[in-house]
């Protein structure tokens, strides 16, 4: 389990046999080591990977076929900057939102615009495995970064976030260009709600629920 608050930026290099090597500078290593142990989980661009070898400058992890299918790792060559976050410890502050590190799918940056107080970044989400969980003011992890959906279309195939300068400067969001692919993870709570509705004896489609839950219905049941 993670929080979506990035602790360091590392460099990823693909190895043989579906392995990746992640290295960090001294400041990044200070955030990951000396607590890092074999078998630990680390979020790499939002992907939960298990440490299989510890190196003086980082670690090695093995990537499963499912992870390659769901994430941006399959299309990476050479060396790439990646966001890193160690797993959440019991009693630690939860400054972002609960992030599992299990990527739902990918999207890509549409545009990035600097405003007076933030970077407004828009993303396209052609993958229905993740677009279904994108809602206004909901939580979304983009390359492992915990963000709030400022705006989105009805289908969730497009959304916008506002990234504060500190987050922009300390993550690899700053290196994204229009068309750059990103890993996306929707809020885990939405997935359970979806399942409970689908398996409910009185299950209804989303359209049917929207037709039933009207302003009048809410007032009648005590919501003003």
Taking only the tens place, the pLDDT of each residue in 10-60 is 999 998 889 999 999 998 888 887 788 999 999 999 999 999 999 999 999
**Please, what is the average pLDDT of the chain?**
90
CATH number, domain of 33, equals: 2.40.30.20
User: Which residues are CB-neighbours of 197 under 8 A, at least 6 positions away?
Assistant: 203, 204, 209
Give domain status of residue 46, yes or no: yes
Domain co-membership, 41 together with 119: no
16 and 41, same domain (yes or no) = yes
In which band, very low, low, confident or very high, does the pLDDT at 203 lie, cut at 50, 70 and 90? low
Does residue 68 lie in a domain region?
yes
Q: Does residue 98 belong to any structural domain of this protein? A: no
The pLDDT, as a whole number, for residue 194 is 79
- Determine, yes or no, domain membership for 97: no
**Do 35 and 60 sit in the same domain of this protein?**
yes
Cβ neighbors of 56 (< 8 A, separation 6 or more) are none
Considering the domain boundaries, does residue 200 fall inside one? yes
Residue 214: inside a domain: yes
Same domain, 171 and 202: no
66, 127: one domain: no
Residue 47 inside a domain? The answer is yes
Range of the domain at 200: 194-224
Q: CB-hemisphere CA count at 13 Å for 22?
A: 30
Task: Specify the number of domains making up the chain.
Answer: 3
Same domain, 52 and 73: yes
153 and 199 fall within a common domain: no
Residues 180, 199: one domain?
Answer: no
Same domain, 116 and 185: yes
Q: Which of 97, 193, 192, 191 is nearest to 144 (CA)?
A: 97
Same-domain pairing of 14 and 77:
yes
Both 70 and 147 in one domain: the answer is no
Q: Decide: 170 and 145 in contact? Cβ < 8 Å.
A: no
152, 43 in Cβ contact below 8 A?
no
- Return the pLDDT at 92: 79
pLDDT tens, residue by residue, 165-176: 999 999 999 999
pLDDT attached to residue 191: 85
Phi, psi angle pair for 26, to nearest 5°? -60, -40
Q: Tell me the C-alpha distance between 217 and 116, whole Å.
A: 41
Weakest mean pLDDT among 70-79, 80-89, 104-113: 70-79
Q: How far apart are alpha carbons 104 and 212 in whole angstroms?
A: 29
Instruction: Determine the length of the chain.
Output: 224
Of the residues 58, 86, 114, which one is the last residue of a structural domain? 86
Q: Using the 3D structure, point to which of 86, 120, 152 is the last residue of a domain.
A: 86
Cα 30–33–34 angle (5° rounding)? Answer: 115
Ordered DSSP codes for 53-84: EEETTEEEEE--HHHHHHSGGGG--SEEEEEE
Residue 176 lies in a domain: yes
The mean-pLDDT minimum among 62-71, 129-138, 178-187, 197-206 falls in 197-206
Q: Same domain, yes or no, for 78 and 134? A: no
């Amino acid at each position: 389990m993670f929080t979506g608050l990035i602790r360091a930026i590392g460099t990823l290099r693909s190895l043989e046999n579906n392995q990746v090597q992640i290295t960090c500078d001294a400041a990044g290593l200070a955030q990951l080591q000396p607590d890092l142990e074999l078998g630990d989980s680390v979020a790499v661009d939002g992907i939960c990977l298990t440490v299989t070898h510890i190196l003086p400058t980082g670690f090695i992890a093995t990537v499963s076929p499912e992870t390659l299918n769901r994430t941006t790792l399959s299309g990476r060559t050479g060396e790439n900057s990646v966001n890193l976050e160690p797993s959440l410890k019991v009693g630690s502050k939860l400054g972002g939102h609960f992030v599992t590190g299990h990527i739902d799918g990918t999207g890509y940056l549409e545009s990035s615009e600097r405003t007076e107080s933030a970077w407004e970044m828009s993303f396209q989400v052609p993958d229905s495995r993740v677009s279904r969980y994108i809602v206004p003011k909901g939580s979304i992890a983009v390359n492992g970064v915990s963000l709030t959906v400022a705006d989105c279309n009805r289908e969730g195939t497009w959304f916008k976030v506002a990234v504060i300068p500190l987050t922009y400067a300390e993550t690899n969001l700053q290196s994204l260009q229009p068309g750059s692919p990103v890993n996306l993870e929707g809020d885990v709570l939405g997935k359970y709600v979806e399942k409970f509705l689908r398996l409910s004896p009185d299950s209804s489609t989303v359209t049917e629920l929207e037709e039933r839950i009207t302003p009048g219905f809410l007032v009648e049941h005590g919501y003003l």
